[in-house]
């Protein structure tokens, strides 16, 4: 069980070295016991009669300005705080704290006794400089210590330290002695003794030596003489003591005794201080002193007689004043009777005046009522005028608001057009941003374990199977790390060795294009590849699914079909321009064109066992022509003869795509016919790059036409009058392709998920993920408006916000 820590209270003065010695004594005294030290610091409020220390010396506080007095107080406080902090640091590992006590008009010894009883102090150490620094004299300081020692509680142990040594207080007969630890007296205080006692003691000790053996008669006469002398000197002594006490009370502070010796002590010091004086000389000195005392007594008697005369004269004056006072009393009584009569007359006049005042007050109240009525009517008239003015101002404001609203509507229309064009640009750049984001953020393909693949496909459950690509592969839909992916599993019958599979995976991983399905990872056991998930399935599902009721929202508009054709063409052009030799897709079809959340096209089906060469480029061109024809007509096959004339073209156009611009449809059909003619004969002028350029021109015309005539975008997700749960593209992060939880605007003006754009910038990119242009700065700003729109969109459809 741990020993209880006992508090030792110590009162220290302003002398730093003496305080260190006192603290060192405490640490030595209780070094074997656990203690904590509480340093008592008494703060004194400076009044006008106190003194302050300035660079010019000690000056009265009343002679210093308040501003300088505040500066001196702060300086003294700072100095004292520095001393206290050094005291605490000196205690070392022993816990030490400062207890500040403000001294009021109460004396210091009473303040310390109140602290002892109030704080239940059991151990109190007082440094002698603490008492001296309180502006007391030496003898007064000793009296204060004796007073504290005598009146403290019995449970409190008092220790007095001076210069690192303990002093002890004890009473002996009529003295109070203060000794150090070695028993050496360092101070003492005597109680007052009678002058008669000291003279008797001195005289009785010396009379035998003075007079020998006196007779009985001589002894009686000597005794009478002695009594008379002593009585007179005792009276003089008492007078001197009383006068001295009054002076001491005026000079001191009410605590302790005077520093000057008493008259008795002064006489004894003169007699005993000179050892060369004979007894006869001492008697002569006493007689001389008695003579002087008699002279002073005569003088005091004379003064008393004069005071008696003055007293008699004062009594005569008092008698005359009393007679005059009696005469004045009679006059006052007469004046009182007259005043009572006047008061009666005054009361009668007051009653009459009161009646007049009441009449005036009634008239004043009537006048006041009329004035209030007039004020009320004036106020109502003023309010009516103000209401009329406010109505006119409000009407003018409404007119101005309407004009301003019309202007804002026009500005919003223009902004809407710009926003529509920007959305189209975003659609074009979406796939690029996603692919580059996946490439840069992941840095490399990830190799998944067979456990992850099995867990993602639920042990290759048929419920997760999307389709069988062929007898050699199967496609499953799964979820890895909270991300939906597509998993293509190669059957063991495909004949690929492990080395060939690794080589093909490495080849496909190096093929990155915005409109080519990006591979995210692979697994060697079983042999499979992991691709990004396409939310809207394949183009074949959108165009040719008749077995179930189609959602009207999934119908592709004519401008989307032109865009998809251009996107597929850009992917094939990228493959054909590969070095050192072109890469041929070989089996392009609507089932191999996948659509993401925003209907952005991505070409899939780039097999692991491609063996085509440059001579098969025409296959992809003809396949692109058939795919474009499917987009135009919405059918899997159409007679080419119907495309030769305008009337036949109008009949075969897919009406679900909206009102096709006939001129653009003709240009598109012309390009399709040229693509279909590739295998019918040599056509060296038609290359994939040429087709890409023509499709881009047609797409630009379509975008310009949409910008002039309006757009089909609706952030609320309403298409053809029906509500859809398809998330608008503006809510999706261009990098993550997921609904943005915390959208932020970058320097390129596009909004991204904060985590995505932050990772993009941390990787050292200084270009826009959307436009590939250099960013002016790396500062991103929260897009609270877009976040609020996204939350509102989810709330209206009862869809939880991510």
Confidence (pLDDT) at 717: 39
Q: How many DSSP H helices and E strands does the chain contain?
A: 19, 23
Hey, what are 379's tokens? 């106020």
Q: Token match 């009459």: residue?
A: 352
Closest CA relative to residue 10, chosen from 121, 146, 125, 95:
125
Q: Is the peptide bond before 80 cis (omega within 30 degrees of 0)?
A: no
Contacts (Cβ under 8 Å, ≥6 apart) of 96? 36, 37, 38, 39, 87, 88
At 580-605, the pLDDT tens digits run: 888 888 889 998 899 988 888 999 88
**Residue 175: partners with Cβ closer than 8 Å, 6 or more residues away:** 188, 189, 190, 191
CA dist 94 and 34 (Å) reads 8
The burial of 37, by beta-carbon neighbours within 10 Å (0-12 exposed, 13-18 middle, 19 or more buried), is given as buried
- The pLDDT, as a whole number, for residue 160 is 87
Length of the chain: 802
Taking alpha carbons only, the member of 67, 21, 13 closest to residue 44 is 13
Q: How many CB atoms lie within 10 A of CB 662?
A: 12
**Strand order of the sheet with strand 751-753?**
751-753, 743-745, 781-782
- Kindly report the backbone phi and psi dihedral angles of residue 732, in degrees, each rounded to the nearest multiple of 5, phi listed first: -95, 140
Q: Which letter does DSSP use for residue 641 in this model?
A: G
State the pLDDT at residue 92. 86
Task: From residue 468, give the alpha-carbon distance in Å to each of 471, 474, 487, 519, 714.
Answer: 7, 4, 11, 18, 36
Low-confidence stretches of the chain (pLDDT beneath 70): 1-3, 44-64, 103-105, 132-140, 170-275, 417-444, 467-472, 493-495, 545-554, 607-613, 638-648, 679-685, 709-727, 729, 771-772, 796-798, 800-802
Q: Where are the alpha helices (DSSP H) in 469-611?
A: 498-509, 539-544, 558-576
What pLDDT is stored for residue 584 in this prediction?
87
CB of 637 within 8 A of CB of 688?
no
Q: What angle do CA 192, 196, 200 make, to 5 degrees?
A: 120
The alpha carbon of residue 64 and the mean position of all alpha carbons in its chain are separated, in whole angstroms, by: 42
Question: For residue 366, what pLDDT is reported?
Answer: 92
């Amino acid at each position: 069980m741990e020993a209880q820590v006992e508090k030792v209270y110590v009162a220290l003065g302003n002398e730093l070295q003496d305080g260190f010695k006192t603290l060192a004594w405490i640490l030595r005294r209780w070094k074997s016991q656990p203690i904590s030290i509480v340093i008592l610091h008494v703060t004194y409020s400076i009044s006008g009669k106190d003194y302050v220390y300035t660079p010019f010396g000690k000056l009265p506080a009343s002679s210093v300005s308040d501003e300088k007095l505040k500066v001196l107080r702060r300086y003294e406080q700072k100095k004292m705080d520095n001393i206290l902090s050094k005291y605490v640091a000196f205690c070392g590992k022993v816990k030490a704290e400062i207890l500040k006590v403000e001294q009021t008009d109460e004396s210091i010894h009473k303040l310390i006794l109140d602290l002892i009883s109030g704080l239940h102090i059991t151990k109190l150490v007082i440094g002698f400089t603490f008492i001296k620094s309180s502006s007391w004299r030496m003898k007064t300081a000793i009296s204060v210590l004796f007073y504290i020692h005598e009146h403290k509680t019995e449970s409190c142990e008092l220790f007095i330290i001076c210069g690192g040594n303990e002093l002890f207080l004890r009473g002996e007969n009529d003295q109070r002695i203060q000794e150090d630890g070695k028993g050496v007296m360092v101070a003492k205080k005597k109680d007052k003794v009678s002058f008669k006692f000291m003279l008797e003691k001195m005289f009785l000790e010396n009379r035998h030596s003075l007079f020998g053996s006196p007779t009985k008669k001589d002894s009686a006469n000597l005794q009478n003489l002695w009594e008379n002398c002593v009585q007179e000197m005792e009276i003089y002594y008492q007078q001197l003591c009383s006068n001295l006490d009054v002076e001491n009370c005026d000079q001191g502070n009410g605590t302790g005794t005077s520093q000057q010796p008493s008259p008795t002590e002064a006489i004894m010091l003169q007699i005993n201080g000179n050892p060369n004086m004979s007894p006869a000389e001492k008697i002569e000195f006493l007689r001389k002193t008695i003579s002087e005392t008699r002279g002073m007594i005569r003088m005091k008697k004379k003064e008393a007689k004069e005071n008696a005369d003055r007293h008699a004269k004062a009594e005569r004056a008092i008698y005359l004043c009393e007679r005059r006072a009696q005469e004045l009393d009679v006059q006052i009584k007469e004046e009182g009777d007259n005043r009572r009569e006047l008061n009666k007359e005054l009361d009668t006049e007051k009653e009459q005046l009161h009646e007049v005042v009441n009449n005036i007050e009634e008239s004043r109240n009537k006048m006041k009522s009329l004035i209030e009525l007039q004020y009320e009517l004036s106020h109502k008239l003023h309010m009516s005028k103000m209401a009329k003015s406010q109505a006119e101002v409000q009407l003018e404001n409404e007119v101005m608001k309407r004009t301003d609203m019309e202007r804002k509507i026009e500005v919003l229309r223009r902004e809407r057009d710009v926003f529509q064009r920007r959305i189209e640009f975003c659609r074009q750049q979406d796939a690029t941003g996603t692919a580059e984001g996946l490439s840069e953020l992941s840095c490399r393909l990830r190799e998944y374990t067979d456990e992850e693949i099995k867990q993602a496909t639920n042990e290759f459950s048929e419920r997760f199977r999307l389709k069988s690509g062929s007898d050699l592969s199967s496609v499953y839909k799964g979820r890895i790390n909270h991300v939906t992916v597509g998993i293509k599993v190669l059957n063991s019958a495909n004949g690929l060795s492990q080395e060939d599979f690794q080589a093909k995976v490495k080849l496909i991983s190096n093929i990155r294009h915005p409109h080519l399905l990006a591979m995210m990872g692979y697994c060697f056991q079983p042999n499979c590849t992991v691709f990004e998930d396409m939310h809207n399935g394949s183009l074949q599902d959108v165009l040719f699914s008749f077995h179930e009721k189609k959602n009207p929202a999934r119908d592709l508009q004519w401008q989307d079909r032109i865009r998809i054709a251009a996107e597929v063409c850009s992917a094939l052009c990228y493959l054909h321009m590969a070095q050192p030799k072109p890469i041929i897709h070989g089996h392009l079809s609507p089932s191999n064109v996948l659509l993401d959340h925003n209907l952005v096209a991505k070409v899939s089906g780039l097999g692991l066992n491609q063996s085509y060469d440059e001579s098969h480029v025409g296959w992809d061109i003809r396949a692109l022509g058939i795919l474009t024809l499917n987009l135009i007509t919405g059918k899997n096959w159409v007679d080419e003869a119907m495309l030769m004339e305008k009337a036949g073209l109008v009949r075969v156009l897919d009406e679900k795509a909206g009102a096709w611009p006939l001129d653009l449809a003709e240009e598109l059909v012309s390009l399709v016919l040229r693509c279909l003619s590739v295998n019918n004969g040599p056509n060296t002028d038609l290359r994939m790059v040429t087709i890409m350029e023509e499709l881009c021109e047609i797409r630009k015309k379509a975008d310009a036409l949409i910008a002039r005539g309006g757009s089909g975008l609706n952030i609320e997700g309403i298409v053809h009058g029906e509500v859809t749960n398809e998330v608008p593209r503006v809510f999706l992060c261009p990098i993550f392709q997921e609904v943005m939880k915390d959208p932020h605007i970058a320097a390129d003006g596009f909004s991204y998920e904060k985590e995505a754009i932050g990772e993009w910038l941390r990787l050292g990119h200084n270009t826009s993920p959307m436009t590939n242009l250099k960013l002016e700065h790396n500062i991103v700003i929260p897009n609270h408006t877009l976040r609020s729109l996204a939350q509102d969109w989810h709330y209206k459809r009862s869809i939880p916000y991510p």
